[in-house]
Amino acid sequence: MSIRRGLMYRLGGSFLVLWLVSAAWMFSDLQKNIDRTLDERLAASAKLVVSMLGASSLSAVDDGMRSSGILPDEDVNLMAGMACQVSSLKGEILVRSHNSPSERIGRMGEGYHTQVADGVEWRTFTLEADGVRISTADRIEQRARLKYAILEAAAVPVLVALIGGLVVLWICVGKGLGPLARMSRALLSRNAEHLDPLNVDELPVELRPLAASQNELLLRLSRAIERERRFTGDAAHELRSPLTAIKTHIQVARLTDGDVSRVALGKAEKGADRLHCILEQLLLLARVEGRLSFDDGVQAFPSEIIMQALEDSERSNIVKIKLHQDADRYPLAVPSALATAALRNLIDNALRHTAPGTEVGLSVSVEGSMVLFCVQDKGGGIPELQLNDVTRRFWHQGRAGGTGLGLAIVEAIVARFNGELKLRNSAEGLEAVMSLPLVP
């Protein structure tokens, strides 16, 4: 079911019930008012007869009128459709109007009553004055026709207003849902080539949080597609050379014997190792940027991260470590695997640019809620204009080797956990400072 239909069922149903209850209440009240007005008309007519045909007039009624027993309507100004009888207190009908029943009305006493006379149901009002009884009456049937006519006249505008209200409600609901429909069409028009964010300012306040979340989703989707394209492009570009080299060395080994074959196989093995390293680095970078979980539930301290990072390094003995006493007070708020990978890449990068036999400095300190890993090499530094390029994928300086992904991975890790990577030249070489958050 659509939102519009659902709203119409609920709002329209509530609107209809409210109108029907109000109409029933109004018609019931109107019917009571009509009955009261007609009753008041009977009483007013009876009092008018009393004032015009008082006791003195009745005693002087001529013999012709008494003999005929007919009271002319024009003499007492009876209202249309009303009957009138004047009778003695003994019950003798003295005079009556031409449409009055032959049976006596008002025999039930003074006031308002409903009775049957000549087989017809009447609404009567009786008043005693100066020794006579004056009764006025309306036919119940005529009253019913009058009430139905009035109620019908009142019901037509109510029915028209009810139908018109439902139509206006349908239109207003459609107008109110217009921004949602436009946002839906805008989302349907998005595709892999067109992931522009929605214009939040043009939407109502109620839809802005939804549009903001959709924009966040579109941004994440755009980044995911960009990462996929980048991974595909990087893999196609960087794996082509190692694969070609491996293939060439294997072909040389197949066509030759002895030392030449062994050298070719050794180079093929190195190419395979490089290929394996590139693939591992690419996959790690894709997982970090893809926000995949690395949390194993184990908290690691900075000293443990240093030991794990130096564990696989062939030149770990030349890394001079300086660990401040407060560095191990709190564990890192970063998964151990990622913190280790980031620090290992910084150390490997420093060792790669440092001459053999030269020490690489590693110091760890705490500033506020962050732990700072500072790696200092003695490789001569990097030109200032190229400092912003070193974290780009597959960026190389000279013939230093490596995959060109190490610092890109470090930057991705610190960005994911709201850390920071600073690179600056010092008097000895390049200084890399990586800050990672601590568990509070």
For residue 114, the domain's CATH number is 3.30.450.20
Same-domain check for residues 227 and 354: no
Q: How far is CA 142 from the centre of its chain?
A: 59
Number of neighbours of residue 96 by Cβ within 10 angstroms: 20
Same-domain check for residues 21 and 138: yes
pLDDT at 238: 66
CA separation for the pair 437, 440 (Å, rounded)? 9
pLDDT at 373: 92
Same-domain check for residues 118 and 227: no
pLDDT at 72: 53
Residue 47 belongs to what H/E stretch?
Answer: helix 13-52
CA separation for the pair 440, 136 (Å, rounded)? 97
User: Measuring CA to CA, how many Å separate 61 from each of 3, 70, 129?
Assistant: 80, 11, 16
**Residue where one domain finishes, among candidates 251, 268, 289:** 289
**Residue where one domain finishes, among candidates 255, 289, 323:** 289
Q: Is 195 contained in some domain? A: no
Q: Is 21 contained in some domain? A: yes
In sequence order, the 6+-apart residues with CB closer than 8 A to the CB of 180 are 3, 207
Residue 265 belongs to what H/E stretch?
Answer: helix 258-289
Same-domain check for residues 317 and 263: no
pLDDT at 62: 40
Compute the C-alpha angle 231/233/236, nearest 5°.
105
Q: Is 236 contained in some domain? A: yes
Residue 278, beta-bridge partner list: none
Same-domain check for residues 42 and 131: yes
Using the CB atoms, write b or e for 141-169: b if 16+ within 10 Å: ebbeeebeeeeeeebeeeeeebeeebeeb
Instruction: Give pLDDT tens digits for 270-286.
Output: 778 777 777 787 788 77
Structure-token pair, residue 133: 């009884």
> How many Cα atoms occupy the beta-carbon half-sphere of 73 within 13 Å?
10
pLDDT at 289: 75
For the chain, the distance separating the N- and C-terminal CA atoms, rounded to the nearest angstrom, is: 49
pLDDT at 68: 43
> How many Cα atoms occupy the beta-carbon half-sphere of 151 within 13 Å?
19
Q: Is 199 contained in some domain? A: no
Q: Is 189 contained in some domain? A: no
Structure-token pair, residue 296: 């194993």
SS3 for 163? helix
In sequence order, the 6+-apart residues with CB closer than 8 A to the CB of 260 are 252
Using the CB atoms, write b or e for 70-94: b if 16+ within 10 Å: ebebeebebeeebbbbbbeeeeebb
Same-domain check for residues 59 and 156: yes
User: Measuring CA to CA, how many Å separate 359 from each of 41, 215, 309, 380?
Assistant: 119, 49, 16, 13
Same-domain check for residues 28 and 134: yes
SS3 for 361? strand
- 351, 432 Cβ separation under 8 angstroms: no
SS3 for 151? helix
Q: pLDDT digit of tens for each residue in the chain (440 aa)?
A: 677 778 888 888 888 888 888 888 888 888 888 889 888 888 888 888 877 765 445 544 444 444 445 555 444 455 556 788 888 888 788 888 877 888 888 778 888 998 888 888 888 999 888 778 888 898 888 888 888 888 888 888 888 888 888 888 888 888 888 888 888 888 888 887 778 888 888 788 888 888 888 888 888 888 778 877 776 776 666 667 777 777 887 888 778 877 878 888 888 887 787 777 777 877 887 788 776 777 767 788 888 888 888 886 666 667 788 878 777 888 888 888 888 888 988 888 888 877 777 788 889 988 888 999 999 888 777 877 777 777 777 776 655 556 677 888 899 889 888 899 998 888 888 889 999 998 87
Domains in the chain, number: 3
CA separation for the pair 149, 82 (Å, rounded)? 18
Q: Is 197 contained in some domain? A: no
**Residue where one domain finishes, among candidates 97, 127, 162:** 162
Same-domain check for residues 148 and 120: yes
431: containing domain: 302-437
For residue 261, the domain's CATH number is 1.10.287
Q: What is the DSSP letter of 276?
A: H
Q: Is 79 contained in some domain? A: yes
pLDDT at 66: 46
Same-domain check for residues 146 and 76: yes
Q: Is 235 contained in some domain? A: yes
CA separation for the pair 329, 171 (Å, rounded)? 66
Using the CB atoms, write b or e for 268-300: b if 16+ within 10 Å: beebbebbeebeebbebbbebbeeeebeeeeeb
CA separation for the pair 141, 306 (Å, rounded)? 106
- Taking the CA atoms of 244, 245, 250 and 253 in sequence, report the sign of the dihedral they define: positive
Same-domain check for residues 21 and 157: yes
Q: For residue 45, give the nearest of 102, 100, 84 by alpha carbon.
A: 84
Residue 172, beta-bridge partner list: none
CA separation for the pair 319, 346 (Å, rounded)? 12
Which residue in the block uniquely carries the two structure tokens 């012709």?
Answer: 64
User: Measuring CA to CA, how many Å separate 234 from each of 163, 230, 264, 352?
Assistant: 66, 6, 27, 22
- 353, 400 Cβ separation under 8 angstroms: yes
Same-domain check for residues 153 and 230: no
CA separation for the pair 136, 41 (Å, rounded)? 9
Same-domain check for residues 48 and 145: yes
